[in-house]
Chains A and B, each alone.
Chain A
Amino acid sequence: MRVSNAMMAENIQNYLYKQTKALLKTQESIASGRRINRLSDDPIGMGQALGYRRTISKLEQFNENITSARQHLDIVENILAAVTELLEDTKDIAADQAPSMRSMMADQVVTIRDQIFQLANSRNNGNYLFSGDLTDTQPFELDTATGVYSYQGDGGTKDHIIGEGLQVSITADGSQIFQGEGDVFDVLNDLEAALRADDGDGVTDQLPVLSEIVEGLNGIRAVNAGQSKRLEATENYNKAFNVNVSDLLSQVEDTDIVEAAINLQLQETAYETTLATAAKIIQPTLMNFLS
């Protein structure tokens, strides 16, 4: 087989080109820290990476939603705990047989009633907590002429997305909470009236109603507590899942530095060897030896 000078030169250039191309690719993966630097490096891997990124973003958002829901539940719990405590105080008043300070107790009941009224109209972040969906409307309005407390909200719940296709609904219906088992305002009104009228029987009649209301509130608090536990568990699950998916993402996307460094070493050696042999082949000609 004849070998021409052009053939040798061309071949050497092609080999060097191949070597430098491989070197450049390895260098790129080390410098960027990513194994996939363009879509064509690994189309399937890229697809997987996109899927993992999406999952991570979703999980983070779910946990944000859960945080918002838990915050809501915590505030509601605080309010209902305070209301329950006030109602316990009211029960003590209703159970008191001593008729001496009845007008003072009546004033106390008024104070308690006003406090509960304020608590029922609590807001969080500018939204009323117990109006259902009508979060810009005050849940309970007092008609000062008639002394009637009426509910202005509706029956909506507060919903949050906590997982793929999973939702949690938190009770926000003020009429159900405060006027469900018994109307708390009516009871307090009646108690005040009975105290002022010095009606002993009327006072003690309010006790069972108060107990029912407190039980109702405890029921709602129990449901909320259960939801809070569920949210906490979901949050932890999401976090653990996030860690796993992040790990998978890293495996797909990131460069294995050790492997890349070894490759770089091998390629460098190959490149230098190619250069050395090229120099040896390309230089001598017959003219060097003809005198």
Chain B
Amino acid sequence: MPNIAGLLYIGRNALLTQQKAIDITGNNIANVNTPGYSRQRLNMEQSTPIRDLNTTMSTGVRAQQKIQRFYDQFTTNQLNSENEGLGRWEAQKTALGKIEVLFDEVTGYGLSEAMSGYWTAWQDLSNNPSGQVERTNLLSAAQYLTSTFNQLSGNIADAQSDIDTNVVNIVEDVNRLASQIAELNTKITQVEVTGHNANDYRDQRDSAIYELSKLIDINSFEDGDGNATIMVGGGKPLVEGAFTWNLSTAEDGGVQKVYWEDSSGTAHDITDRIESGELKGWMETRDVVISDYMTRLDTLAGAIIQEVNALHNDATTPSGFGLDGSQNDFFTGSNAGDIAVNSAIVADVNLIAAAGDAASLPGDNSVAIAIANLQSALTMSGGNASFDDYYTSLVGDVGSDVQTANLNFDHQSSMIQHLENYREEVSGVSLDEEMVNLVKFQHAYNAAARLITVTDEMMDTIISIAR
């Protein structure tokens, strides 16, 4: 037998459910611009009717306790792994972009011009070996060359130590995010064990993991309880349930390296096990790419020092005599950082040796000619390249490396954009859709209210029967 009170019950359920649905819709609308938000939906189901001997009495609608969260695990995993690549190439692009500017070849004031100026100054000297003007000019060209080398070398070294600062900061961020994730793990398990949903915490945790994946490459998966486990550096745990392990940095061989601290506090070096993410980008640039540039620059400087001094101060077959008959090295130092003109020559340009034989002073210019001809001599790469060729290939490599980093970064950005679109397809809020839902639920709410009014009138009628 239908029960009039049951009608009220149906109306009440309907009102509350539609109201709850509007509440969820309102939440979606409010969070339309929240990054990382996944839209939610109230799922309604018909509540179990009461069945007795003769009739079935419907009980209306019921909202499911767990609010549905629209979420694609696969896309999220893909996003995380592509984000690692993005972080890596972004870091490399930034670091190399700074290095590229140091080789000021585009405007023509770089090392190439300095070297050219040095060799032509020797040719000028060969035209007038005893001339004071030519000697002073040669000295200043040489000093320009050495200071360009020193500056370039110093700037590259500075860039390397700047990277160290970044590495330290990133490791701090990783630790911060790890503890955030662990905290969220606790909250999520606490809420979900009671049968409710922890959609907001899950969104926050996904955001934290996404941010973390840009910094360092991770393996993440969720266990049955809803805890996310994060592993880094080839299988070392970073977050497991509510527990975190720390990463730390320490100096080793002049650079900062990354360590993982285990439960007993021992630090393990995981620098080489990091495969992707910003950390990899910074450290690879610092340890492989930039140090290669430094080595090549040092080799070039060292070769110039050696070859010039060999002619300028030849001890075995005595050659290279200054105007006063003395033999001196032209350059001091051994690499790009400490190459300098011999201070004795700086003090007295007459010590510059243009003559090859002490008996032929001051008109002989055989040493000056020989040194000037070093410009085209095949002195580098085992006798296959000249100084200029060697330097040009270094500059070309710098340009190519930057180009590669740029291309990879653009590619990764493009991938991320596509994946973001996929994610938005599933999880994003569309205001138009929410508007329609709002209208829909509002109508249902109005209808339910109307039902209650009708029930109320029916009850009045019944009561007035008995009066």
Interface residues of A (CB under 8 A from B): 1-7, 10-11, 14, 34, 36-44, 46-47, 50-51, 53-54, 57-58, 61-62, 64-65, 68-69, 125-127, 131-136, 154, 156, 158-161, 164-165, 167, 172, 285-287, 290
Most buried by B among A34, A53, A159: A159
Residue of B nearest to A48 (CB): B392
Q: Are A68 and B112 in contact (CB under 8 A)?
A: no
Q: How far is the CA of A165 from the CA of B360 in the complex (A)?
A: 23
The answer to whether A61 and B431 touch across the interface, beta carbons within 8 angstroms, is no
Closest Cβ neighbor of A289 among chain B residues:
B435
- Rounded to whole angstroms, the CA-CA distance of A126 and B131 in the bound complex is 9
With A6-B32, A160-B126: A133-B355 Cβ-Cβ less than 8 Å: yes
A54 to B365 Cα, complex, angstroms: 23
Picked from B32, B106, B372, B432, the residue with its CB within 8 Å of the CB of A36 is: B106
Our pick among B369, B395, B421 for the contact of A7 (Cβ within 8 Å) is: B421
Residue of B113, B128, B355, B369 with most partner-chain A CB within 10 A:
B128
Asked if B33 contacts A6 (CB within 8 A), the reply is yes
Nearest CB of A to B412, in Å: 13
Assess the A165–B373 pair: CB atoms within 8 A. yes
The 10 closest A-B pairs by CB, nearest first: A4-B428, A43-B399, A39-B399, A40-B402, A133-B363, A135-B363, A133-B360, A7-B424, A68-B127, A286-B435
How many Å from the CB of B117 to the closest CB on chain A?
8
Whether the pair A159, B126 counts as a contact (CB closer than 8 A) is: yes
Does B417 interact with chain A (Cβ within 8 Å)? Answer: yes
- Residue of B at shortest CB range from A125? B128
Q: Contact string, B412-430, partner A, CB cutoff 8 A, digits 1/0?
A: 0000010011001111111
Assess A54 versus B388: contact at CB under 8 Å? Given A37-B106, A39-B105, A127-B363: yes
Known A-B contacts A47-B396, A58-B375; the reply to A290 vs B435 at CB < 8 A is yes
Q: Smallest distance from the beta carbon of B157 to chain A beta carbons, Å?
A: 19
A43 to B73, CA, bound (A): 42
CB neighbours (8 Å) of A2 from chain B are 424-426, 428, 430, 433
What's the least CB distance linking B427 to chain A, in Å? 8
B170 within 8 A of A: no
Size of the chain B interface, CB-CB below 8 angstroms: 64
Instruction: Check B53 for interface membership: any CB of A closer than 8 A.
Output: no
A-B contact pairs, 20 of them (CB 8 A): A2-B433, A4-B429, A10-B417, A11-B421, A14-B417, A46-B106, A46-B396, A50-B105, A58-B120, A65-B127, A134-B361, A135-B130, A135-B362, A136-B130, A156-B360, A164-B376, A167-B369, A285-B431, A287-B431, A290-B435
B347 within 8 A of A: no
Within 8 A of A (CB), among B318-340: none
Q: How long is the Cα–Cα vector from A4 to B32 in the complex, in angstroms?
A: 9
The answer to whether A38 and B123 touch across the interface, beta carbons within 8 angstroms, is no
Residues of B at under 8 Å CB distance from A?
A: 32-33, 35, 100-101, 103, 105-106, 108, 112-113, 116, 120, 123-124, 126-131, 355, 357, 359-366, 369, 372-373, 375-376, 388, 392-393, 395-400, 402-403, 406, 417, 420-421, 424-433, 435-436, 439
**What is the bound-complex CA distance between A38 and B129, given in angstroms?**
40
| Residues on the A chain within 8 Å of B406, using CB | 40
Contacts of A47 in B (CB 8 A): 392-393, 395-396
Given A37-B106, A156-B360, A285-B435, CB of A61 within 8 Å of CB of B392? no
Given known contacts A38-B100, A159-B366, A43 and B396 CB-to-CB distance under 8 angstroms: yes
B residues in contact with A53, CB < 8 Å: 108, 112-113, 116
A43: chain B residues at CB < 8 Å are 395-400, 403
Beta-carbon contact of B398 and A39 below 8 Å: yes
| B395–A46 CB distance below 8 A | yes
Residues of A within 8 A of B127 (CB): 64-65, 68-69, 160
A10 to B128 Cα, complex, angstroms: 69
Minimum Cβ distance to chain B for residue A28 (Å): 11
Contacts A14-B417, A40-B403, A64-B124; A161 near B435 (Cβ below 8 A): no
For the complex, give the distance between the alpha carbons of A154 and B360 in Å.
Answer: 8
Known A37-B106, A38-B106, A39-B106: A161·B126 in contact at CB below 8 Å: yes
Query: Which of A36, A51, A57, A69 neighbours the largest number of chain B CB atoms within 10 Å of its CB?
Result: A57
A38 to chain B, nearest CB (A): 6
A159 interface neighbour in B369, B393, B397, B400, Cβ under 8 Å? B369
Residue contact B432 to A50, C-beta cutoff 8 Å: no
Cβ-defined contact, A39 with B428, below 8 A: no
What's the minimum C-beta distance from B30 to chain A, rounded to whole angstroms? 13
CB distance from B432 to the nearest CB of A (A): 5
Q: Are B399 and A46 in contact (CB under 8 A)?
A: yes
Smallest CB-CB separation from B356: which chain A residue? A133
Q: In the assembly, what is the distance between CA of A159 and CA of B417, in Å? A: 68
Determine if A133 and B364 form an interchain contact, defined as CB atoms under 8 angstroms apart. yes
B116 cross-chain contacts in A, Cβ below 8 A? 53-54, 57-58
Whether A161 contacts B369 by the Cβ 8 Å rule is yes
| Closest beta carbon of chain A to B25's beta carbon, Å | 13
Given contacts A38-B402, A46-B396, A57-B120, 19 further A-B contacts (CB under 8 A): A3-B430, A4-B430, A6-B428, A6-B429, A7-B421, A11-B421, A40-B100, A40-B399, A42-B399, A43-B395, A43-B400, A53-B108, A53-B112, A64-B124, A125-B131, A159-B369, A161-B126, A161-B373, A165-B376
Q: In whole Å, how far is A229's beta carbon from the nearest beta carbon of chain B?
A: 20
Chain A residues with Cβ below 8 Å from B424 are: 2-4, 6-7, 10
Closest-by-CB residue of A relative to B386 is A54
Contacts of B425 in A (CB 8 A): 1-4, 7
B94 CB to nearest A CB, Å: 13
A241 to chain B, nearest CB (A): 15
- A5 near B32: Cβ-Cβ < 8 Å: yes
How far is A42 from B403 in the complex, measured between Cα atoms in Å?
8
What residues of A have a CB within 8 angstroms of the CB of B403 in the complex?
40, 43
Docked-complex contact B399 and A134, CB < 8 angstroms: no
Residues from chain B with Cβ under 8 Å of A127 in the complex: 128, 130, 363
Give the distance in Å from the alpha carbon of A43 to the alpha carbon of B105 in the complex: 11
The verdict on A39 contacting B360 (CB below 8 Å), with A5-B32, A46-B105, A160-B127 known, is no
Do residues A5 and B100 form an inter-chain contact, with CB atoms below 8 A?
no
